[in-house]
C-alpha cells in the first residue's frame, strides 16, 4: 500500500489513505486514526448509555404507535410481537456492537460495508450511505410528528368540536424542533447532563404511568391479553399477514439501535463504551416496553372506542378511560411525550454526525461545504441545518396526506433495517470465507458470533418484507403504504448520483492517520 502526504482541512499534515478492504484497517492496525475536521471527545460511558436508552424512547413510541397493533392482530399480537421484536433487535444490536468495537466511527454501516465487501465495495458503500442518511432523516420526523399530533389529540379530547387541521400539526412539528436545535447548537457541553437527567426520567416515568393505570382502571381477563387475536378491522384474512403487518407498532419503537454509534467520535474509550451502550440501551428499552404494553393491554377499556378515538391516538383514549379525568390524562401523556421530545435532541445529534461523516467522505453533493466543523460551536453546524431542512421539507407531506407521511415514518424503519442487513450479510460471508481477517475489538461475541449474526439477518429480513405492506385492504390511494415506493425512489436517486457524481468522487471512507 502506497501512502501520500496530505493536508487536513483544519491544518496539520498527516499521512492519508482510504480504508482497505480488511477490518484491520491500514497495515493491520499499525496506525492511529485521525479524522478530518476532528470532533471533541466529551461523552463518557454513562452519558453514552443514557444517550442510547433515551434515543430509542421505546415505551413512549410504543404508546404513540399502538393503533398499528390494535388494527392488525390486537392484544395478543402486541404482547407476543414485542417479545419477537425485542429478541430480533437485541441480536441486531449485539451484531452491530461487535463491528462498532472494531471500528467505532460516525459513518458506521457504510464504513463497515466498504471494509467487508469482497468486491464492488465503492458502489455498495455509497449506495448504503444514501439509504442510511435518508432513513435517519425520516426517523428524526417521528418524535415531532407524534408530539405535535398528540397535542392536537389532547385538544380534541378537551374540545370535541375542535377540527384539527393538518397544517396545524405541521406547525406544531416545527415548534417541537426549535428547542432541540438550540440545545444542539448552543448547549453541546451540557448534553451529557441532559442525557443522564432524561435517562432517569425515562426510567422513573414508566412505573408511575403503570401504577396510575393499574390502580385506576378496571382489569381485563388474561384471555383478553394473551389469547385475543383481532383480524377483522383491516380486511386482511391470512392470520400470519395480519400479525406481521401489525408488528409495525412494536418494531418502530426499537428503530435506531445504531444511533449512539454515530456519536463514536465524541465518546471517550469508544471501542468499549459504544458496544456496551448499544446493548444495555436496547435491553433496558426492551424490558420497559414489554412491561408498559402488558400493563396497557390489561388496563385498556373499550377496545372499539380506543381504536376509533377522535383524538387519533388510542393511548389518549385508554388513559382517559382509565382515569376519567382530562387533567390526569394530560399528565400521563406528558410523561410519555417529554422523554420522547428530549430523545429528539439525541436523534438530531446522531443524524448530524452521520451526515457530516458522509460529507467528509465526499458522499454528498457539495460535500466540501457540509463537512465544515464550526470552530466556535465545535459541531458540524452546516450538516445540522441540512438535516433540519430535510425534516421541515418532509413535514409538508403531512399537509397533503397523513397516510403519505405515515409511510415516511415506516420508511425510516424499513431503510434502517436494510442498512443493518448489508454489513451483517457481508460479515457472515467474511466469517465463512476468511474468519482470520476479522480482528477482536473491545467487545466480541466469540462462538456466538455466527449464530447471532444469522438470527439478526433473519429478523431484519422478516421485518423488511412486511414493513411496506398497507395496513388495510383493499388498497386505495388513501390507505396505500408509500414506504416501498419512496425507498425505491431514494435507491434510484442514489444510483443516479453514483453514475453522475459518486463514481468520480467516492473512494470509500477516507482515513487520515499518523504513525504511532
429-482: per-residue pLDDT in tens? Answer: 999 988 878 777 788 888 888 999 999 999 999 988 988 888 888 877 767 788
Residue 97 CA to its chain's centroid (Å)? 15
Give the three-class secondary structure for 107.
coil
Residue 305, CA distances (Å) to 29, 223, 239, 315, 411 in order: 60, 20, 23, 11, 29
Domain that holds residue 420: 4-515
3-state SS of 158-191 is HCCCCCCCHHHHHHHHHHHHHHHHHHHHHCHHHH
> What integer is the mean pLDDT of 113-125?
91
Q: What is the CATH number of the domain that holds 296?
A: 1.20.1740.10
pLDDT above 90 for 18? no
Residue 5, CA distances (Å) to 14, 179, 514 in order: 6, 43, 10
Note the residue count of the chain.
516
Strand-pairing partners, residue 17, are 511
Any idea which residue has 396545524 for its cell? 168
* Residues 353 and 263: beta-carbon distance below 8 Å: yes
256 confidence band (pLDDT: 50, 70, 90):
confident
Q: Name, in order, each residue with C-beta under 8 angstroms of 92's C-beta and a sequence gap of 6 or more.
A: 257, 420, 424, 456, 459, 460
Backbone torsions φ then ψ of 18, nearest 5 degrees: -85, 160
Among 187-196, 235-244, 269-278, 284-293, the range with the most confident prediction by mean pLDDT is: 284-293
d(CA 496, CA 273): 38
d(CA 230, CA 79): 13
pLDDT 10s digits, 287-344: 999 999 999 999 998 898 998 889 989 999 999 999 989 999 999 999 999 888 888 8
* Residues 352 and 385: beta-carbon distance below 8 Å: no
C-alpha cell at 120: 464492488
- Higher pLDDT among residues 48 and 479, named by residue: 48
Kindly report which listed range (15-19, 211-215, 246-250, 302-306) carries the lowest average pLDDT score.
15-19
* Residues 183 and 191: beta-carbon distance below 8 Å: yes
Among 7-16, 338-347, 420-429, 485-494, the range with the most confident prediction by mean pLDDT is: 420-429
- Could you tell me which of 333, 285, 266, 365 has the C-alpha nearest to residue 45? 266
224 confidence band (pLDDT: 50, 70, 90):
very high
**pLDDT confidence of residue 10:** 34
Give the three-class secondary structure for 204.
helix
Element (H, E) at 251: helix 248-251
Backbone torsions φ then ψ of 221, nearest 5 degrees: -70, 160
Kindly report each contact of residues 448-452 with a partner whose C-beta sits within 8 Å and lies 24 or more positions away, as own/partner: 449/95, 449/98, 452/91, 452/94, 452/95
d(CA 290, CA 276): 21
Residue 258, CA distances (Å) to 10, 135, 164, 364, 417 in order: 28, 12, 35, 21, 10
pLDDT 10s digits, 337-378: 988 888 888 888 888 888 988 998 889 888 889 888 888 878
C-alpha cell at 331: 399528565
**pLDDT confidence of residue 482:** 80
Residue 441, CA distances (Å) to 103, 272, 423, 514 in order: 8, 8, 16, 20
d(CA 130, CA 493): 9
C-alpha cell at 117: 465487501
Give the three-class secondary structure for 336.
helix
List b or e across 392-407, with b for residues whose CB sees 16 or more CB atoms inside 10 angstroms: eebbebbbeebbbbbb
> What integer is the mean pLDDT of 49-74?
88
Strands across the sheet with 4-7, in order?
4-7, 13-18, 510-515, 31-33
Give the three-class secondary structure for 382.
helix
**pLDDT confidence of residue 516:** 31
d(CA 472, CA 245): 9
- Higher pLDDT among residues 3 and 390, named by residue: 390
3-state SS of 7-47 is ECCCCCEEEEEECCCCCCCHHHHCEEECCCCCCCCCECHHH
d(CA 238, CA 247): 15
DSSP 258-316: TGGGGGGGGBTTHHHHHHHHHHHHHHHHHHHHHHHHHHHHHH---HHHHHT-TTS-HHH
**pLDDT confidence of residue 38:** 64
pLDDT above 90 for 168? no
Domains in the chain: how many in total? 1
**pLDDT confidence of residue 36:** 47
> What integer is the mean pLDDT of 135-151?
88
**pLDDT confidence of residue 47:** 79
- Could you tell me which of 339, 288, 274 has the C-alpha nearest to residue 101? 274
Amino acid at each position: 500500500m502506497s501512502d501520500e502526504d496530505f493536508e487536513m482541512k483544519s491544518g496539520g499534515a498527516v499521512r492519508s489513505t482510504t480504508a482497505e478492504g480488511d477490518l484491520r484497517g491500514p497495515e493491520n492496525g499499525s496506525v492511529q486514526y485521525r479524522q478530518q475536521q476532528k470532533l471533541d471527545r466529551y461523552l463518557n460511558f454513562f452519558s453514552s448509555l443514557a444517550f442510547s436508552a433515551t434515543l430509542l424512547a421505546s415505551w413512549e413510541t410504543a404508546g404513540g404507535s399502538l393503533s398499528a397493533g390494535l388494527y392488525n392482530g390486537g392484544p395478543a399480537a402486541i404482547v407476543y410481537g414485542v417479545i419477537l421484536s425485542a429478541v430480533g433487535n437485541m441480536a441486531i444490536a449485539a451484531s452491530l456492537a461487535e463491528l462498532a468495537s472494531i471500528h467505532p466511527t460516525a459513518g458506521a454501516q457504510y464504513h463497515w460495508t466498504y471494509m467487508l465487501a469482497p468486491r464492488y465495495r465503492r458502489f455498495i458503500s455509497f449506495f448504503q450511505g444514501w439509504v442510511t442518511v435518508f432513513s435517519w432523516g425520516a426517523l428524526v420526523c417521528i418524535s415531532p410528528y407524534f408530539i405535535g399530533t398528540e397535542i392536537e389529540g389532547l385538544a380534541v379530547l378537551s374540545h370535541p368540536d375542535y377540527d384539527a387541521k393538518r397544517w396545524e400539526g405541521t406547525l406544531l412539528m416545527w415548534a417541537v424542533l426549535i428547542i432541540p436545535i438550540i440545545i444542539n447548537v448552543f448547549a453541546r457541553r451540557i448534553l451529557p447532563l441532559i442525557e443522564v437527567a432524561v435517562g432517569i426520567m425515562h426510567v422513573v416515568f414508566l412505573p408511575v404511568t403503570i401504577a396510575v393505570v393499574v390502580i385506576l382502571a378496571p382489569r381485563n381477563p388474561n384471555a383478553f391479553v394473551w389469547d385475543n387475536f383481532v383480524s377483522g378491522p383491516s380486511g386482511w384474512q391470512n392470520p400470519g399477514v395480519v400479525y406481521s403487518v401489525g408488528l409495525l407498532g412494536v418494531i418502530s419503537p426499537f428503530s435506531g439501535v445504531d444511533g449512539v454509534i454515530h456519536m463514536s467520535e465524541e465518546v471517550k474509550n469508544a471501542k468499549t463504551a459504544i458496544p456496551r451502550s448499544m446493548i444495555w440501551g436496547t435491553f433496558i428499552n426492551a424490558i420497559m416496553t414489554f412491561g408498559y404494553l402488558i400493563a396497557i393491554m390489561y388496563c385498556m377499556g373499550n377496545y372499539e372506542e380506543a381504536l376509533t378515538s377522535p383524538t387519533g391516538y388510542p393511548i389518549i383514549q385508554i388513559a382517559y378511560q382509565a382515569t376519567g379525568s382530562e387533567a390526569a390524562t394530560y399528565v400521563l401523556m406528558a410523561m410519555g411525550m417529554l422523554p420522547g421530545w428530549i430523545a429528539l435532541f439525541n436523534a438530531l445529534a446522531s443524524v448530524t454526525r452521520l451526515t457530516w461523516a458522509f460529507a467528509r467522505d465526499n458522499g454528498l453533493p457539495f460535500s466540501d461545504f457540509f463537512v465544515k466543523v464550526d470552530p466556535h460551536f465545535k459541531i458540524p453546524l452546516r450538516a445540522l441545518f441540512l438535516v433540519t431542512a430535510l425534516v421541515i421539507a418532509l413535514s409538508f407531506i403531512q399537509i397533503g396526506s397523513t397516510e403519505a407521511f405515515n409511510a415516511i415514518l415506516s420508511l425510516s424503519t424499513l431503510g434502517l433495517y436494510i442498512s443493518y442487513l448489508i454489513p451483517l450479510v457481508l460479515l457472515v460471508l467474511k466469517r465463512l470465507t476468511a474468519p482470520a481477517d476479522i480482528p477482536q475489538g473491545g467487545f466480541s461475541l466469540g462462538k456466538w458470533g455466527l449464530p447471532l449474526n444469522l438470527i439478526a439477518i433473519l429478523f431484519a429480513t422478516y421485518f423488511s418484507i412486511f414493513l411496506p405492506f398497507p395496513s388495510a385492504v383493499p388498497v386505495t390511494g388513501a390507505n396505500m403504504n408509500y414506504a416501498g415506493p419512496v425507498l425505491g425512489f431514494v435507491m434510484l436517486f442514489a444510483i443516479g448520483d453514483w453514475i453522475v457524481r459518486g463514481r468520480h468522487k467516492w473512494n470509500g471512507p477516507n482515513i487520515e492517520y499518523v504513525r504511532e
